[in-house]
Amino acid sequence: MTREQPFDARIVDLDSIADTLSTTLGNHPGVIRLEPTLRSTMTRWKVASVGHLHRNLRHGTPSPTVAIRDGLVLSFTGNVLTLHMDLATSISNPALGLARETQEVAAEVIRASGLSVGHIDVTILAIEGAPAS
Protein backbone atom coordinates (compact mmCIF):
# COMPACT_ATOMS: atom_id res chain seq x y z
CA MET A 1 0.00 0.00 0.00
CA THR A 2 1.41 3.39 -0.98
CA ARG A 3 0.99 6.39 1.15
CA GLU A 4 -0.20 9.48 -0.69
CA GLN A 5 1.60 12.73 -0.17
CA PRO A 6 -0.52 15.59 1.20
CA PHE A 7 -1.78 17.96 -1.44
CA ASP A 8 -1.42 21.62 -0.52
CA ALA A 9 -4.19 23.17 -2.61
CA ARG A 10 -5.39 26.69 -2.01
CA ILE A 11 -7.64 29.13 -3.69
CA VAL A 12 -6.17 32.47 -4.65
CA ASP A 13 -8.51 35.42 -5.10
CA LEU A 14 -6.68 37.42 -7.76
CA ASP A 15 -9.54 39.90 -8.03
CA SER A 16 -9.17 40.82 -4.38
CA ILE A 17 -5.39 41.21 -4.76
CA ALA A 18 -5.90 43.32 -7.91
CA ASP A 19 -8.37 45.56 -6.07
CA THR A 20 -5.94 45.99 -3.16
CA LEU A 21 -3.09 46.80 -5.54
CA SER A 22 -5.26 49.31 -7.45
CA THR A 23 -6.19 51.14 -4.25
CA THR A 24 -2.74 50.99 -2.66
CA LEU A 25 -0.84 52.08 -5.77
CA GLY A 26 -3.44 54.70 -6.72
CA ASN A 27 -3.00 56.30 -3.29
CA HIS A 28 0.81 56.20 -3.35
CA PRO A 29 2.39 59.68 -3.32
CA GLY A 30 3.51 60.66 -6.81
CA VAL A 31 1.18 58.25 -8.62
CA ILE A 32 -1.51 60.25 -10.40
CA ARG A 33 -3.37 57.20 -11.73
CA LEU A 34 -3.05 53.68 -13.00
CA GLU A 35 -3.12 54.23 -16.74
CA PRO A 36 -5.52 52.22 -18.86
CA THR A 37 -3.91 51.15 -22.12
CA LEU A 38 -4.95 49.47 -25.33
CA ARG A 39 -2.78 46.52 -24.26
CA SER A 40 -4.66 46.05 -20.98
CA THR A 41 -7.99 46.32 -22.81
CA MET A 42 -6.92 43.71 -25.37
CA THR A 43 -5.61 41.44 -22.60
CA ARG A 44 -8.92 41.81 -20.75
CA TRP A 45 -10.83 40.72 -23.89
CA LYS A 46 -8.43 37.83 -24.48
CA VAL A 47 -8.76 36.57 -20.90
CA ALA A 48 -12.55 36.86 -21.06
CA SER A 49 -12.63 34.93 -24.35
CA VAL A 50 -10.33 32.18 -23.09
CA GLY A 51 -12.31 31.95 -19.85
CA HIS A 52 -15.52 31.61 -21.86
CA LEU A 53 -13.97 28.84 -23.98
CA HIS A 54 -12.79 26.99 -20.87
CA ARG A 55 -16.24 27.14 -19.30
CA ASN A 56 -17.95 25.92 -22.48
CA LEU A 57 -15.45 23.46 -23.92
CA ARG A 58 -13.35 22.21 -21.01
CA HIS A 59 -15.70 21.59 -18.14
CA GLY A 60 -13.86 20.91 -14.92
CA THR A 61 -10.58 22.56 -15.90
CA PRO A 62 -9.57 25.79 -14.21
CA SER A 63 -9.76 29.04 -16.12
CA PRO A 64 -6.54 30.99 -16.70
CA THR A 65 -5.40 32.75 -13.57
CA VAL A 66 -5.12 36.34 -14.72
CA ALA A 67 -6.69 39.48 -13.31
CA ILE A 68 -6.76 42.81 -15.10
CA ARG A 69 -7.56 46.33 -13.94
CA ASP A 70 -6.84 49.66 -15.59
CA GLY A 71 -3.06 49.87 -15.43
CA LEU A 72 -2.56 46.39 -13.90
CA VAL A 73 -2.14 42.89 -15.30
CA LEU A 74 -1.67 40.13 -12.70
CA SER A 75 -0.68 36.62 -13.72
CA PHE A 76 -0.57 33.70 -11.28
CA THR A 77 1.41 30.51 -11.92
CA GLY A 78 2.21 27.96 -9.23
CA ASN A 79 2.61 30.08 -6.13
CA VAL A 80 4.16 33.05 -7.97
CA LEU A 81 2.37 36.27 -8.87
CA THR A 82 3.76 38.34 -11.74
CA LEU A 83 2.60 41.94 -12.17
CA HIS A 84 2.74 44.60 -14.85
CA MET A 85 1.80 48.20 -13.97
CA ASP A 86 1.21 51.19 -16.26
CA LEU A 87 1.38 54.48 -14.35
CA ALA A 88 0.90 58.19 -14.81
CA THR A 89 3.13 60.03 -12.35
CA SER A 90 3.69 63.51 -10.99
CA ILE A 91 6.53 65.61 -12.37
CA SER A 92 7.52 66.41 -8.78
CA ASN A 93 8.68 62.82 -8.19
CA PRO A 94 11.66 61.34 -10.03
CA ALA A 95 10.27 58.60 -12.28
CA LEU A 96 12.96 56.00 -11.55
CA GLY A 97 12.63 56.38 -7.79
CA LEU A 98 8.85 56.23 -7.99
CA ALA A 99 9.02 53.09 -10.16
CA ARG A 100 11.19 51.41 -7.53
CA GLU A 101 8.87 52.52 -4.72
CA THR A 102 5.79 51.17 -6.48
CA GLN A 103 7.58 47.86 -7.11
CA GLU A 104 8.33 47.60 -3.38
CA VAL A 105 4.75 48.51 -2.41
CA ALA A 106 3.35 45.95 -4.86
CA ALA A 107 5.76 43.28 -3.56
CA GLU A 108 4.56 43.94 0.02
CA VAL A 109 0.91 43.51 -1.05
CA ILE A 110 1.73 40.28 -2.89
CA ARG A 111 3.69 38.87 0.07
CA ALA A 112 0.89 39.86 2.46
CA SER A 113 -1.47 37.74 0.35
CA GLY A 114 0.77 34.73 1.00
CA LEU A 115 2.18 34.47 -2.52
CA SER A 116 5.69 34.62 -3.89
CA VAL A 117 6.69 37.68 -5.87
CA GLY A 118 7.58 37.15 -9.52
CA HIS A 119 8.56 39.89 -11.94
CA ILE A 120 7.09 43.31 -11.26
CA ASP A 121 7.33 45.45 -14.37
CA VAL A 122 6.56 49.16 -14.23
CA THR A 123 5.91 51.32 -17.27
CA ILE A 124 5.54 55.04 -16.70
CA LEU A 125 3.37 56.22 -19.55
CA ALA A 126 2.92 59.83 -18.52
CA ILE A 127 4.68 62.34 -16.30
CA GLU A 128 2.33 65.19 -15.59
CA GLY A 129 2.81 68.58 -14.01
CA ALA A 130 0.43 70.47 -11.78
CA PRO A 131 -2.81 71.42 -13.55
CA ALA A 132 -2.97 75.00 -14.78
CA SER A 133 -5.20 77.28 -12.74
**Taking the alpha carbons of 85, 90, 91, 94 in that order, is the dihedral positive or negative?**
negative
**Pair 121, 83: CB distance under 8 Å:** yes
Reported as a pLDDT band with limits 50, 70 and 90, residue 91 is very high
pLDDT digits (tens, 9 = 90+) for 3-53: 555 444 455 788 999 999 999 999 999 999 998 866 655 655 555 555 444
Average pLDDT, the chain: 80
> Which domains are assigned to the chain?
14-47+64-128 (3.30.70.1350)
Helix (H, G, I), strand (E, B) or coil at 105: helix
**Pair 29, 93: CB distance under 8 Å:** yes
Residue 122 half-sphere exposure toward CB, CA atoms < 13 A: 21
pLDDT at 77: 83
Question: Quick check: 89 pLDDT over 60?
Answer: yes
User: pTM for this one?
Assistant: 0.73
Between 41 and 114, the higher pLDDT residue:
114
